[in-house]
């Protein structure tokens, strides 16, 4: 765990996790806001990436906007945990893989350009591991804009934007895949991105702006590693509610302070009855449980059974797979 004590680094992470400038020299814009020169901004971000405090400066893509994805889980015997985790990590479409405290102990997100690709990933994992895979498909999100403040104060999380998938144009999938992997930490990162795609930089910046406006890019900015920065007590809390109650319970839970993600997923009959999912990212277990205790008092959740699954280990955390690797190559 690496707490940020430098006030400039705190501001760099607090102020630029979203709405990153789409301009020729964006790091100079950051420098002007922080009272630094461009080189020092780049040096600080390069250092924080090298020490694991940030993963990249780039984009996150709205789930389901132009790709398919699902949350999945397997119940791996303790003696096979490392082996099964490695099998899951080896899949290019898997972009998150966590161990959680439950009989269903490996939880991962499978992504791909379409549902068929995701289905094939899940089938391959089941076949190679010999284990059943729970396919917990997203029904609707209530809050999926994850951000973390280094300093006290309310998070600047914008309200959900409507996604206009019709904004996609030829070449955008490749652009999104590269952008979600991260911009180069150089003075003119969009120029470097355009060169890597053999495209015009003005066109690239215009497309990024259009995709952001359309809600396809949910967030453009500094992507932090929350566990490395102190949010190490992270609990997925699942709620057993009838479908008709989700309309009111979902928005209420998403708005509760301390709940960082909230969404509805399909249950699995006779195995996994939970429909409403929430994440609590906290610095201690006690802090997380305090948030949960408050959420349980919401009238919209009255009487709802829940299960708490703390994450204990992160095996993989990368950007989503937007197009098949053979196409990208």
Q: How far is CA 191 from CA 22, 40, 211, 286, in A?
A: 11, 20, 18, 47
Mean pLDDT of all residues in 89-95:
94
- Over the stretch 63-78, which tens digit does the pLDDT of each residue have? 778 888 999 999 999 9
Query: What is the structure's pLDDT at 227?
Result: 64
How many other C-beta atoms can be found within 10 angstroms of the C-beta atom of residue 6?
Answer: 11
DSSP 160: P
**Contact between 124 and 92 (Cβ < 8 Å):** no
pLDDT reported for residue 10 = 86
pLDDT > 60? residue 149: no
pLDDT category of residue 232 using cuts at 50, 70 and 90: confident
For residue range 314-328, list pLDDT tens digits in order: 998 887 777 765 433
Mean pLDDT value across residues 36-51: 95
Q: Please, which pLDDT band fits residue 53 given cuts at 50, 70 and 90?
A: confident
Mean pLDDT of the chain: 89
| Cα–Cα distance, 190 to 4 (Å, whole number) | 28
**Chain segment 285-316, per-residue pLDDT in tens:** 999 999 999 999 999 999 899 999 999 999 98
Q: How many helices (H) and strands (E) does the chain have?
A: 11, 11
Is residue 2 scored above 70 in pLDDT? no
Is the overall model pTM greater than 0.85, yes or no? no
| Residue-level pLDDT at 13 | 86
Domain 1-150+159-232+316-329 in CATH 3.40.50.20: no
Query: pLDDT at position 144, please?
Result: 62
Least confident segment among 145-149, 192-196, 198-202: 145-149
Q: Are strands 94-100 and 305-317 parallel, antiparallel or unpaired?
A: antiparallel
Range of weakest confidence among 182-186, 210-214, 260-264: 260-264
Cβ atoms of 278 and 239 within 8 Å: the answer is yes
Evaluate whether 99 touches 311 at the Cβ level (below 8 Å): yes
| pLDDT beyond 50 at 329 | no
pLDDT digit string, tens, across residues 216-231: 998 999 988 766 565 6
The predicted pLDDT at position 328 comes to: 39
User: Mean pLDDT throughout 191-203?
Assistant: 97
């Amino acid at each position: 765990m690496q707490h940020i004590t430098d006030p400039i680094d705190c501001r760099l992470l607090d102020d630029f996790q979203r709405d990153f400038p789409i301009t020729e020299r964006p790091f100079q814009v950051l420098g002007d806001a922080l009272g630094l020169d461009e080189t020092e901004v780049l040096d600080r971000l390069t250092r924080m990436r090298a020490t694991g405090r940030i993963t990249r400066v780039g984009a996150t893509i709205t789930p389901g906007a132009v790709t398919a994805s699902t949350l999945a889980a397997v119940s791996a015997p303790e003696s096979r945990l490392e082996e099964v985790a490695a099998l899951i990590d080896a899949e290019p479409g898997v972009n998150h893989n966590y161990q959680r405290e439950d009989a269903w102990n490996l939880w991962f997100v499978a992504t791909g350009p379409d549902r068929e690709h995701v289905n094939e990933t899940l089938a391959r994992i089941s076949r190679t591991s010999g284990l059943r895979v729970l396919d917990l498909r997203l029904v609707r999100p209530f809050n999926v804009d994850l951000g973390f403040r280094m300093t006290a104060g309310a998070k600047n999380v914008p309200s959900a934007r409507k996604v206009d998938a019709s904004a996609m144009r030829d070449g955008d999938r490749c652009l999104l895949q590269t952008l979600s992997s991260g911009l180069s930490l150089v003075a003119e990162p969009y120029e470097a991105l355009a060169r890597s795609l053999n495209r015009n930089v003005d066109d690239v910046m215009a497309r990024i702006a259009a995709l952001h406006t359309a809600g396809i890019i949910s967030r453009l900015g500094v992507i932090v590693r929350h566990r490395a920065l102190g949010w190490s007590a992270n609990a997925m809390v699942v709620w057993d509610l009838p479908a008709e109650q989700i309309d009111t319970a979902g928005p209420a839970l998403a708005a509760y302070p301390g709940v960082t993600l909230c969404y509805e997923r399909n249950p699995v009959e006779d195995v996994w009855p939970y429909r409403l999912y929430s994440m609590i990212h906290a610095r201690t277990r006690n802090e997380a449980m305090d948030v949960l205790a408050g959420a349980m008092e919401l009238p919209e959740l009255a009487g709802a059974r829940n299960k708490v699954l703390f994450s204990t280990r992160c095996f993989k955390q990368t950007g989503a797979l937007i197009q098949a690797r053979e196409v990208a190559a």
